[in-house]
């Protein structure tokens, strides 16, 4: 199974500010929408059907984002995501937005998801099946602090060794 998932998206006019740059808040929408599509297409996990079947869904616990270069109106971007950490009650996903040719990094995001039981309205734990899926797709990173990871990525890009 693929561990780094990629999706192309076009930046839409209505999502941009007066400078024709993607509005800061819209980055999160683009990232989350891309991730939902990616896990449905690559891992056969439709989170809405899963919620209807099991009562389990995920809520965003926190976001850490760095904006590096603007994404502009009608530009095609590549949104990349990977699970970098998981526990019985947490997912940490790293996401990057690139230009279409993946030569210019536009933004980096770490997003923490908490499993949530919509029936009991309480935090929950992942099932054994989900834990097996996460184990098969996790791609840990060396850094455990967002700012350090950001600096590591930027340094690798500057030395052109980032893969």
Distance, in Å, from the CA atom of 40 to the CA atom of 50, rounded to the nearest integer, reads 10
Q: How far apart are CA 160 and CA 156, in angstroms?
A: 6
pLDDT for 76: 98
Domains and CATH numbers, the chain: 5-158 (3.10.129.10)
**pLDDT score, position 160:** 74
- Per-residue pLDDT at 49: 97
What pLDDT is stored for residue 161 in this prediction?
55
How far apart CA 88 and CA 114 sit, in angstroms, is 9
- Mean per-residue pLDDT pooled into runs of 10, the chain (163 residues): 97 97 97 98 97 97 97 98 98 98 97 97 97 98 96 90 51
């Amino acid at each position: 199974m693929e561990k780094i998932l990629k999706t192309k998206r076009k930046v839409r006019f209505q999502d941009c500010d007066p400078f024709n740059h993607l509005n800061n808040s819209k980055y999160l929408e683009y990232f989350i929408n891309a991730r939902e599509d990616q896990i449905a297409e690559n891992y056969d996990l439709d989170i809405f059907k899963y919620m209807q079947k099991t009562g389990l869904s995920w809520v965003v616990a926190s976001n850490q984002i760095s904006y590096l270069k603007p994404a502009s109106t009608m530009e095609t971007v590549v949104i990349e995501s990977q699970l970098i950490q998981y526990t019985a009650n947490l997912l940490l996903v790293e996401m990057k937005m690139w230009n279409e040719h993946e030569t210019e990094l536009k933004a980096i995001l770490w997003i923490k998801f908490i499993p949530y039981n919509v029936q009991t309205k309480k935090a929950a734990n992942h099932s054994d099946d989900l834990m097996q899926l996460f184990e098969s797709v996790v791609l840990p990173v060396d850094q455990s602090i967002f700012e350090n990871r950001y600096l590591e990525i930027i340094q690798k890009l500057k030395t052109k060794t980032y893969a």
